[in-house]
Structure 1
Amino acid sequence: MGFSLPLGFFFFGATVLWETVAACGYQSCPATKPDMLNVHLIPHTHDDVGWLKTVDQYFFGVRNDIQHAGVQYILDSVIPQLLADPSKRFIYVEVVFFARWWRLQTEDMRQAVRQLVAEGRLEFVNGGWCMNDEASVHYSAVIDQMSLGLQFLKETFGECGRPRVAWHIDPFGHSREQASLFAQMGYDGFFVGRIDYQDKAQREVLREMEQLWRASGSLNPPAADLFTGVLPNGYNPPMSLCWDQICSDNPIVDDDSDENNVKNIVAYFLGTAAAQAKHYRTNHIVMTMGSDFQYENALLWYKNMDKLIKHVNAQQLSGSRVNVLYSTPSCYLWELNKANLSWSVKYDDFFPYADGPHQFWTGYFTSRPALKRYERLSNNFLQVCNQLEVLAGARANLGPYGDANSSRLREAVGVAQHHDAVSGTAKQHVTNDYAKQLSAGWDACQTVISNALASISGNKENFMYCTYLNISVCPLTEASETFMVVVYNPLARAVGWNIRLPVNGTHYSVLAPGGQSVLNEVIPVSGFTQAVRRDRGGAINELVFQASVPPLGYTTYSVSRLHKKDPVRTRLLKRLQRQHETEQRSIQNEHLRVIFDSSTGLLKEIQNLDKSISLPVSQNFFWYNASTGDMENHQASGAYIFRPNNSEPFPIAKGAQAYHVKTQVVEEVYQNFSDWCSQVVRLYAGQPYVELEWTVGPIPIQDGLGKEIISRFETNLQTAGLFYTDSNGREILERRRDYRATWNLTQTEPVAGNYYPVNSRIYIKDKKVQLTVLTDRSQGGSSLFDGSLELMVHRRLLHDDERGVGEPLLEPGDYYNGLVVRGRHLILLDTTESSAQQHRLLAQQEFMAPQLVLAPGGGPPYLPGQDNLKQFSALHLALPSNVHLLTLAQWEPDSVLIRLEHQFERGESVNGSMPATVNLLSLFSSFNITSVQEMNLAANQKWEEMKRLIWQPAKGAAVWPSSDRSLDPTHIELQPMEIRTFLTHIQYQPKPGRGF
C-alpha cells in the first residue's frame, strides 16, 4: 500500500527488464509425476560465515591446513554447470559471500547469472547476510541482517531474487520468534536441520516432520504462521551418496566395467527413498545433496546426480513408482502446498537441542560472554549511527571528521549474527576477527556520529568515544579540568540515565543545558575495577550523576573540576575505599530496599516499597565442574555442549567480604567472593530496580577442572516447576522443568537439559509476586528447583566437545592469563499483574541504551554564526510508551526506512497491551515525510504485494478471518506485538544558519 503527498510521485524498487520474459518463482518449478514418489534432489552448499576459518579465509580458500574450503571456487564451479544444462538447479544462502563474489565478476558473467536467477535455476533461499543463530540473537539484529541481505538481492535481481523459503539447516535449535519474523518477512515456508533426537524420533513415527508453526501468541493468524519442515538428514546427503571431492563414497560407474555399480546404487537409493517416505505425508520427499563448503568441483556432484536420475527413473519402465528430479526447496514446498492437506500446529519452540542422551547444546547460550556483550553493544551503536545518519542528512557522511557511512558496521553486525559467531562456537582466531571487524565498523560510525552531532549542535568539537567506561578508563575525563558530555538517546521516549565517569578530582560542577546545577557525587574507583583495568587507566574516583535526555535526541552537560580544599571529603573518600562492615546492612532509595545478611554479606531480602512487597532473596555465585566424559559416555562440556559432572554446583564462597558506599546519588555494596569473582549491588536514586554488576575471571584452572560459573537466586516463591524466558527479546515463553510440550521427554541431564536461552530476561512468579532478572547479553538460564533462578555468566573449559571446532573454550583474555568478564543483571520485584510494564520498557532501554560522546568543549561553530544547540529532540512528541521506534535508517540512496513496533504482548498489561496509534507525518521535527510505502518486515516487498501461500491448520487450531490493512500515515495503528515497516521519502527542515 502506498501513500504520496501532492509533492510528487515516487517509485520504490528496482526495475529489472529480464523479469518480463522469465519465469522465476513457483512458475519455474520442474514437472513432477502425481502418481509416483517424487524425490527432490536439492544441490546446495553450506558456507559458514566464519567458524574454523575467518570470513576472508573461507572466501578466498586460504588456510586449507585448517579446513579445505574456498567459497569463491564454489560459485565459479557451479555457474558453468547450470549454464550448460537447463535441467540443473542450485540454491545459495549466504549473501555476504555471494555479494563479495558478485563484485569480482565481469558484466558478461553477471548477465549470465541474472538469467539463471530469472529462470529459477539459481535460487536464493533464506537470503540474509548470513544464516543467523537463533538462541543468542536479539530480534532487532536479526531483522537488520536479514534486511541487509535481502536488499542486496532485490537491487541485484529484482523480484526473482526474493527468496520464498527460509533455510536454517545448521543453527543449534530454533526459536519461535525467528519463525514469527520469517513469516512477517513474507516467507512461505521454513526448513530446519537440527531438532532434538527424541523429538525427531517421535515425529518420524507420527509423520509430523512437517507442520504449521504458529509462532506468536499475539499476532492474529496467519500473520505469524509458518509452514515448517524438518529435513531428514540434517543437511547432508543420504549415506553413501556424497560425491563431492572431499567425500570418499564411490561414484556411479555405468560403463562396461567390473566396477559397474548401477544396480546396487539404484537398489540402495530406492530403499532409502522408500524408508524416508514413511516419515512424510505426501508423495514428495527431499534429499539435500551437498554439505559444508561442497561444490568446489561441481562437475563431480552433477555428473553423478545425472547418472542417478537417469538410472533410477529408467526403472519406471519396469514398474518403479519413484521419480527423481533436480529441484529446490521452494519447488518442493510448492508441491506440498498443492497437496491441500491440513497440518498439525506447533506453538512452542525447538529449545533445548540435543543430539544424544548426554549431549545438550546449551553451553553456547553463554560461550564467549565478552563477544556476546560486544555484539550487543555494537548493535546498540549501529542504531545510534543509523538514526544520526538520517537526522543530519548528507553532512553525517561528508563532514569535518572525514567521509564515512554506517554500512561497514551494518555489515559487521550482520556477520556477527552468524550461528558460529555470536553463539561463541568459532575458533579463537575467528572470534578475534569478528571483534576486529566490529571495531572497524565502530570507527566508521564514530565518524558518522561526530559529523552528525557537529551539524546538529552547530559546534565542531573534538568528539571522543571512551569505550572502556565499564572499567573506569577515559583519558579525557581523567585529565581535563573541564569537558562536556553529550548523551544521545536512541529511544523515542525521554529517559533518565546514570552516568559514571573516571576522574581524579574530588569536587565537580555538572551543569545542564539551561545552566542548572545537577546533583553529582564523587566516589572511589573500587579495588575490583583497579585490578581488572590494570595499567589501562589511572583514575582514582568516579563522577556519578543522572542525565535526563529527550526522545530521539541529546542533552549536553558541562563538567568542571572544582579545586575546593575539603579535608572532610578527602577523608570520606579514603574511608569508603577501606570500609569493611560486619553488621547487617541495607541500601535504599525511593522505591526499593535491599537487605544483606550480617554474617555472610550476601543478599538476603528485597523490598518493593511502592507495592509493600517483601521477598526473601538470596544470591550467590557457584560453579559447575565441567564433565570431561565418563565411562558410559565420552561427551565433555565444550563450546557447544553444557554437561556438568554433577547436578549440584559448588559455591565460590559461602560468604562475601563487603563494604558499603552511600551517597545522595547512589548506594552500593561491594561484595568480594574470591580473587576472581566480585560484585557490586547498586541502587541509584529514583531507579525501580536493583543493579548487580558482576566481575568474573580469570576462572582458575590450575586444579585441572573446567568450570561453568552461575549466579543463582533463591526465593520462597511457589513456582510449581515453571519459569519464563524471552524469545529473542520479544515474546515470553513459559518453561517447565523436565518437560516438553509436544513430546514425552526422557530426561538424561537434569541441569543441562533444563537450560534455555535468555536473550534479555528470565523470571519466576507465583499468583502475586514476580521476580525478574534482566541480562545485558545472551546467557543460558534455568530454574532447577522451585523458587530459584540461575544464569550462567562465564565458562572456561579444558576439553573440546567434539562438535568440529577442535579446541577447548579457553579464552586468553587481554593479558593471556584468562578472560575477565564484567556484566550487569537488573533485578525487578513487582506484582505479577504490573511486572510486564516494567520489564518490557526496561529491557528495551537496556538494549537501546544512550550513547555517551565526550569532548573538551570550546570547539568552533559548524557554520559561521550558527548557535550551539545543547539539547535536541528529533521528535515533536514522544511516542506512546507501548510503541518503539525500532528502525530509523538510510535505505536506498533517496529513501529512509522506518519501523514502528508495539512492544507488549496481548493481554500482558492492562495499559501496555492496548492498541496504539501514531501520526507518522507529524512525528519528526528534523524532516517532513513526503511519501510513504508500507513494506513487509524485511522491506524487500510492498505490503500489498505480499501474497503468502495458504496452509490449512489441523482441526482444533484457531482460524482467523483475513483482514486488510489500510495505510493512513496520519493514523498508524499498532496491535500488540505488531511491527509495521515503511519506506519513506523525506525533505529536511531548513534551519536558520544551518540549511540542508
Structure 2
Amino acid sequence: AISRWYFTSMIFLQLNEIILVESCHAIKPGMLNVHLVPHTHDDVGWLKTVDQYFYGARNDIQHAGVQYILDSVVDQLLKNPDRRFIYVETAFFYRWWKRQSGDMQDTVKQLVDEGRLEFVNGGWCMSDEATTHYSAVVDQMTIGLRFLNDTFGPCGRPRVAWHIDPFGHAREHASVFAQMGYDGFFFGRLDYQDRSRRKASREQEMVWRASESLVPPVADLFTGILPNGYNPPEGFCWDQLCDDPPIRDDPDLEDYNVEDVVSKFLTVAQEQAKVYKTNHIIMTMGSDFQYENANLWYKNLDKLIRYVNQKQVNGSNIHVLYSTPSCYLQELHRANLSCPYFPMRIDDFFPYADAAHDFWTGYFTSRPALKRYERISNSYLQVICNQMEVLGGPTSRNGSFGVGNSDTMKKAMAVAQHHDAVSGTEKQHVADDYARRLANGWTQCQVLVSNTLAALSGSSAPRVYCEHLNISVCPLTESSSKFSVNVYNPLARPVGWSVRLPVNGTAYAVTDSSGNVVPVSQATVVVRRDRGYAVNELLFQVRAPPMGYSTYSVSLLQKGPPPASPFPRAPKDIQNKVRFLKVTFDPETGLLSSLSNLETQQTVRLSQNFYWYNASDGNNKDSKQMSGAYIFRPNSSTTFIISKTAKIETVQNSVVQEVRQWFSPWVSQVVRLYADSRVLELEWTVGPVPIGDNMGKEVITRFDTSINSSGIFYTDSNGREVLQRRKDYRPTWTLTQTEPVAGNYYPINSRAYIKDEKDQLTVVTDRSQGGGSIQDGSLEIMLHRRLLHDDVRGVGEPLNEASDLYPEGLVVRGRLLLSLNPPAVAANTHRPLAQEVVLQPLITFTEGLLPPNTRPEVRDGRPLKPSFLTALPPAVHLLTVSQWDPDLVLLRLEHQYEARDSKEHSQPVTVNLQVSPLPSTFILLTGMNLSANQWKHEMTRLDWKVDSGKGHSPGCELTLPFST
C-alpha cells in the first residue's frame, strides 16, 4: 500500500555487517561546547568549469584546485588523530578517488571508518533548491550516495544534509532528505529579517515538518541555521586565501598574540551562544575552496583548541573540540530528550533577501534556455537512458549501433543540479560547459536507444533523432516522402499527444491517425534561421500504451499547392469539437478575453499580455543594488507593456485551432487548442530582448482574471507538494516589505494557480520560472531576462546572453499550459499534466516505411501497440525504472496526490507487484529508503521533541548554563 505522497523504492542488494566506531570527541557537560567543523565549500562549477575547478586551471579567474585540497587534507588528518574534516561534493571526491593508489584508498577508508573524515550531504553536488525538479534531485543524490555506500559501506553513509550555499530553501528538499534517512539538515542562508527575528528568540534550530500529507514524523527533519553563513567567525580564517594573522605562540617574540586570540574567541563564542538554545554551538572553519594548504588551518586550529581549553583551569566554562555536523547533531539530540524543545517550521524559506532591497528572486528565471535544456534532459535521462536500458538489457549497451551507456547522462544531469548550474548564476563559459555535458549525454543515450528499439522492433533501420522539433527542424521529415515515426510513452498510463513534424508536402497519409498540414509560422521561420527549410507542419494525434510504444507510417500524397493561408484576424472564439474548452478574443486587440470549461460550465474573464520591468542599474533612490543573475531589482513596480494589440493569423482544422499573435518583432505567441485537449497551450517566443535604450529588461507574461484570489496564490515545491503564498506576508514572521514586486516572487518549478470558491486557473510551465500574484486575480510569470549590470554577488558579469546563432541576443521559446476547473477537482488535471510535461514521449524516426515483419500486429484494422507495463492506478506515478547492476533494477513508485488534492485520488492505493509490471521477472523485491542506500526496515532516524508553541516547554530552563 502506498500512503499519500510516499516514495517507495525496491532494489536487490546485499548487506555487509559493519561495527560502527564511536568517533565523536568527548564533550564537557555544564560547559559551553564549541564544535569546530573544518570544511571546504567546492562549487561544482561557477566561475570556472567543473574540470577547471578540479585541476586548478584558470586561476586568473579564481584560485581553486580541488584535487590539491583533498591531497592536503588527507595528509594533515594522518598527522593528528584528533583532527576532523567533512566533505560534501561527491562529484569531485569520485574524480580524486579514481586517481589514487590502492594504498592511499586503504588509508582513506581507515579515516572514514574512524570518523576522522566524514561525508555530509553526499549527493553528486549540493543542488539548488528553487529551480530543480524533485526527480532530478533524487537521482543526483542517489548517484553520490551509491558511490559512498559501495566504496565505504555504512561508515560512508551521510547522516546530515548540508546545504550551506543555496539561495533559499524548499520544503520538498527537506522532505526528500527525511525520506532518505537523514537525521538533520544545516544551511547558511535565510532572509535577513527572518534571521534577525530567530536570533532574538533563539529559534535558529528547529524541526521542519516538510510535508502536510505524510504522517509525522516521516517528513520531520531537524534543521539548523549556521551562525556565519558557512564562513568562520571574523578574525579566525587561517587559509592561504585569508588575511587573518596566525596564532603566534612564542612568548619570546614581540608579536605574541595568544591572549588576544583566546580573549576574542571567548567573546565570539559567548555572543553566539546567546542566540542558540543549548550549551552546544557550531562554528564552520572553512569556506570556498579552502584547505588547499591544510597545514595552515590545522596548525592554527590545534593551537586554538589547546589555548582556549587551558583557560578552564582559571574558571572558563568554554570547551572547544574538533567536531562534525553529525557529532554536533548527536549532542543536540541528547539535550532535546529533556530540554530544550525546538520550534516547528511548516512553510519554506523563499524568497531569500540579504538586505532590504536585495531579493534573490531573479535566478528563478535566469538563463531560461539552459533551464529548459536541463528539464528536457531530465526527461531524456528517465526515458531514453534509464527505461530503455532496462527494456533492452545487455543489448541496449552493446548492440548493432555500437556501445551506449547511461553514465554520461546521469553524471551530466547530476552536475546540472548544482546551485550555480540550473539556477543560471554561473559565468557564461560555465553555462556553455554544462550544456556541452548534457549534449554528450544525449549522444551516448541515443546509441543505447537505437540498440534497444532495434531489438524490440526487429528492425535494424537507423534511428533518427530530431532535437529541434519545437522550431520545426528535422531534416528527415523535411526531405523524405516516406518515413516511420516511433512514439514511446514513459508514463505508467496510456497517454495521447499531438505530434508536429516539419514537412514540405501538403497532404500525407498517416497510419492509424488522421493528419493535417498547416503552414509554418513566420515567427518560427525567423527563430530557426538557416537550420531548416520546411514550409509546412504535419499534425496528427498519437497514442501509446503505458511504458510502451506506437509506430506510425507517413507517406507523402501531394506536394502542392500549399495549404490555405492563415486567416488574417482573430476569430470571435475557438473551441474543441468535443466541447472541452472555449477561448474568446477581443476583436479589436486580438488578445484573449475569456476562458470557459464547457464540461463544468465555468467561465472566467482572462486577459493576457506581455510586459517588462526596467532592471535597476544601481541608481535607484532607495538602493544602489542592481538587477543581475541572482537578484531581481526593478526600478519601480511599473510594468511597460510591449503592445496593446497583437497582429493575428488564425489556422483552423480538425486537429488544431491556432491563433498566432505578434506583439513586436521580438515577442510572439501561438494560442493553441487541440481537438481532444482539456488544456489551452500558449507557445511564447521572446527575444532578442532589445537593449538599445541602455535598459536591462525583465520580461513577463501576466494573466488578469475575474477570480477573487484575495492576495493568495499557490506554487509547487520542486514539482511535488503545493504551498500557499500570500502577498506581502510570511507565515512564521512579520514581514516589512521593501520590494513590492521582487519581494512577492516565488519559484515556479512546474505549476502555479489562483483560485476562489468556484474557479481555479492553473498554469503549468515547461521549465522553472519565477512568478507572483502582485494584484488580486492576477498571475505573472517571468519568461526572459537580459541585464546590463552585475549584481555584485560574485559572478562578475551581467546576464546578457548571446550565441553564435543569435549574436544580437538570445531567443527563447517555451510553453504554458492553462486549465480551468473547480478547485475540488483541479488536481485531477494539473498533477498528471505536470508529469506529462516533465516526462515527454520519445519520438524517433526511420527512413521509409517499416518492413512487413516489423509492423505491429493488426486486429480489426488497428495496430496492437507493444506495452511493457501493466497500467498503474491514476494516483501512482512510476518515478524511476533504472538498471542498477546487470541483474538488478531500481524501481520507484510514488503516490502523486497530496492529502487535500482529490476526494477521488488522495486515498492510499494498493499496487499488486506480484503481477510483474515489467517484462523481466522479479525474483525478489526488497524495500529501500528513497536514495536506495539503506534497507527500509533498518532505517532509523532521530526523533525530536518540539515546542508547545509558547516559546519553550514547561519546566525547561532556558538560562545559559555557563559564564565566563
Structure 2 residue 260 is the aligned partner of structure 1 residue 261:
no
Question: 1:656: which partner in 2?
Answer: 646
Hey, what's the Cα distance between the residues in 2 that align with 1:327 and 1:581?
71
Question: 2:125: which partner in 1?
Answer: 130
User: What code does the residue aligned with 1:552 have?
Assistant: M
SS where residue 605 of structure 2 aligns? strand
Question: 1:218: which partner in 2?
Answer: 213
- The answer as to whether partners of 1:874 and 1:926 remain within 8 angstroms in 2 is no
Question: 1:380: which partner in 2?
Answer: 379
User: What code does the residue aligned with 1:825 have?
Assistant: L
Superimposed CA distance per residue, residues 372-401 of structure 1 (whole angstroms, 9 cap, x where no aligned partner): 000000000000120110011111101111
Structure 2 residue 533 is the aligned partner of structure 1 residue 533:
no
- The answer as to whether partners of 2:484 and 2:849 remain within 8 angstroms in 1 is no
* Residue among 833, 840, 844 paired with 1:849: 840
Residues 554-593 of structure 1: pairs in structure 2 closer than 5 A: 554-563=549-558, 570=562, 573-576=563-566, 579-581=567-569, 584-589=572-577, 590-593=579-582
Question: 1:34: which partner in 2?
Answer: 29
Hey, what's the Cα distance between the residues in 2 that align with 1:832 and 1:933?
38
Question: 1:818: which partner in 2?
Answer: 809
Q: 1:857: Cα distance to partner?
A: 3.8
SS where residue 921 of structure 1 aligns? coil
Superimposed CA distance per residue, residues 26-61 of structure 1 (whole angstroms, 9 cap, x where no aligned partner): x21110001110000000000000000000000000
User: What code does the residue aligned with 1:117 have?
Assistant: V
Shift in CA distance, 50/876, structure 1 to aligned 2, threshold 3 Å: closer
- The answer as to whether partners of 2:616 and 2:625 remain within 8 angstroms in 1 is yes
Q: 1:519: Cα distance to partner?
A: 1.2
Question: 1:47: which partner in 2?
Answer: 42
Superimposed CA distance per residue, residues 254-309 of structure 1 (whole angstroms, 9 cap, x where no aligned partner): 01211111111111000000000001011000000000000000000000001100
User: What code does the residue aligned with 1:525 have?
Assistant: V
* Residue among 718, 735, 746 paired with 1:728: 718
Question: 1:240: which partner in 2?
Answer: 235
User: What code does the residue aligned with 1:473 have?
Assistant: V
Q: 1:871: Cα distance to partner?
A: 5.7
Question: 1:319: which partner in 2?
Answer: 315
Hey, what's the Cα distance between the residues in 1 that align with 2:254 and 2:869?
82
Q: 1:872: Cα distance to partner?
A: 4.7
Structure 2 residue 420 is the aligned partner of structure 1 residue 420:
yes
Question: 1:395: which partner in 2?
Answer: 395
Question: 2:282: which partner in 1?
Answer: 286
Hey, what's the Cα distance between the residues in 2 that align with 1:770 and 1:187?
37
Residues 642-791 of structure 1: pairs in structure 2 closer than 5 A: 642-791=632-781
Structure 2 residue 277 is the aligned partner of structure 1 residue 277:
no
Q: 1:13: Cα distance to partner?
A: 3.7
Hey, what's the Cα distance between the residues in 2 that align with 1:446 and 1:618?
42
Q: 1:718: Cα distance to partner?
A: 1.1
Residues 156-175 of structure 1: pairs in structure 2 closer than 5 A: 156-175=151-170
User: What code does the residue aligned with 2:625 have?
Assistant: Q
- The answer as to whether partners of 1:167 and 1:191 remain within 8 angstroms in 2 is yes
Shift in CA distance, 876/489, structure 1 to aligned 2, threshold 3 Å: closer
Hey, what's the Cα distance between the residues in 1 that align with 2:914 and 2:377?
30
User: What code does the residue aligned with 2:220 have?
Assistant: D
- The answer as to whether partners of 1:556 and 1:871 remain within 8 angstroms in 2 is no
Q: Report the aligned-residue RMSD.
A: 1.6
SS where residue 92 of structure 2 aligns? helix
Structure 2 residue 597 is the aligned partner of structure 1 residue 618:
no
- The answer as to whether partners of 2:184 and 2:222 remain within 8 angstroms in 1 is yes
Question: 1:969: which partner in 2?
Answer: none
Hey, what's the Cα distance between the residues in 1 that align with 2:108 and 2:796?
37
* TM-score after normalising by structure 1: 0.92
User: What code does the residue aligned with 1:392 have?
Assistant: G
SS where residue 923 of structure 2 aligns? strand
Question: 2:449: which partner in 1?
Answer: 449
- The answer as to whether partners of 1:389 and 1:452 remain within 8 angstroms in 2 is yes
Structure 2 residue 182 is the aligned partner of structure 1 residue 194:
no
Q: 1:681: Cα distance to partner?
A: 0.1
- The answer as to whether partners of 2:31 and 2:318 remain within 8 angstroms in 1 is yes
User: What code does the residue aligned with 2:254 have?
Assistant: D
Shift in CA distance, 585/609, structure 1 to aligned 2, threshold 3 Å: closer
Question: 1:12: which partner in 2?
Answer: 13
Hey, what's the Cα distance between the residues in 2 that align with 1:631 and 1:712?
27
Question: 2:874: which partner in 1?
Answer: 881
Hey, what's the Cα distance between the residues in 2 that align with 1:779 and 1:304?
45
User: What code does the residue aligned with 1:333 have?
Assistant: L
Hey, what's the Cα distance between the residues in 2 that align with 1:875 and 1:226?
38
Residues 535-550 of structure 1: pairs in structure 2 closer than 5 A: 535-550=530-545
Superimposed CA distance per residue, residues 750-805 of structure 1 (whole angstroms, 9 cap, x where no aligned partner): 00000000000010000010001000000001000100000000000000000000
Residues 453-602 of structure 1: pairs in structure 2 closer than 5 A: 453-512=453-512, 518-563=513-558, 570=562, 573-576=563-566, 579-581=567-569, 584-589=572-577, 590-602=579-591
Hey, what's the Cα distance between the residues in 2 that align with 1:623 and 1:661?
29
Question: 2:958: which partner in 1?
Answer: none
Q: 1:631: Cα distance to partner?
A: 4.3
- The answer as to whether partners of 1:874 and 1:924 remain within 8 angstroms in 2 is no
SS where residue 948 of structure 1 aligns? coil
Hey, what's the Cα distance between the residues in 1 that align with 2:870 and 2:53?
48
SS where residue 691 of structure 1 aligns? strand
Q: Which has the higher contact order (CA 8 A, sep 6+)?
A: 2
Superimposed CA distance per residue, residues 472-493 of structure 1 (whole angstroms, 9 cap, x where no aligned partner): 0000000001001100100010
Superimposed CA distance per residue, residues 80-106 of structure 1 (whole angstroms, 9 cap, x where no aligned partner): 111111100000000000000000000
SS where residue 593 of structure 2 aligns? strand
Superimposed CA distance per residue, residues 295-354 of structure 1 (whole angstroms, 9 cap, x where no aligned partner): 000000000001100111110011000000100000000000000232111000000000
Hey, what's the Cα distance between the residues in 2 that align with 1:326 and 1:647?
50
Hey, what's the Cα distance between the residues in 2 that align with 1:582 and 1:925?
49
Structure 1 portions without partners, runs of 5+: 2-9, 513-517, 958-996
Question: 1:352: which partner in 2?
Answer: 351
- The answer as to whether partners of 1:365 and 1:757 remain within 8 angstroms in 2 is yes
Superimposed CA distance per residue, residues 804-853 of structure 1 (whole angstroms, 9 cap, x where no aligned partner): 00000000133211000000000001111111110011111111111111
Hey, what's the Cα distance between the residues in 1 that align with 2:388 and 2:864?
14
Question: 1:154: which partner in 2?
Answer: 149
Structure 2 residue 937 is the aligned partner of structure 1 residue 948:
no
Q: 1:520: Cα distance to partner?
A: 1.0
Shift in CA distance, 876/291, structure 1 to aligned 2, threshold 3 Å: closer
Q: 1:584: Cα distance to partner?
A: 3.8
- The answer as to whether partners of 1:13 and 1:155 remain within 8 angstroms in 2 is no
Q: 1:405: Cα distance to partner?
A: 1.3
SS where residue 286 of structure 1 aligns? strand
Hey, what's the Cα distance between the residues in 2 that align with 1:115 and 1:633?
53
Number of aligned residue pairs? 928
SS where residue 885 of structure 2 aligns? coil
User: What code does the residue aligned with 1:76 have?
Assistant: D
Q: 1:908: Cα distance to partner?
A: 1.5
- The answer as to whether partners of 1:921 and 1:928 remain within 8 angstroms in 2 is no
- The answer as to whether partners of 1:187 and 1:948 remain within 8 angstroms in 2 is yes
Hey, what's the Cα distance between the residues in 2 that align with 1:461 and 1:553?
19
SS where residue 343 of structure 1 aligns? coil
Hey, what's the Cα distance between the residues in 1 that align with 2:407 and 2:693?
46
* TM-score after normalising by structure 2: 0.95
Shift in CA distance, 895/876, structure 1 to aligned 2, threshold 3 Å: closer
Hey, what's the Cα distance between the residues in 2 that align with 1:872 and 1:426?
45
- The answer as to whether partners of 2:123 and 2:143 remain within 8 angstroms in 1 is yes
User: What code does the residue aligned with 2:263 have?
Assistant: A
Q: 1:894: Cα distance to partner?
A: 2.8
- The answer as to whether partners of 1:486 and 1:853 remain within 8 angstroms in 2 is yes
User: What code does the residue aligned with 2:568 have?
Assistant: H
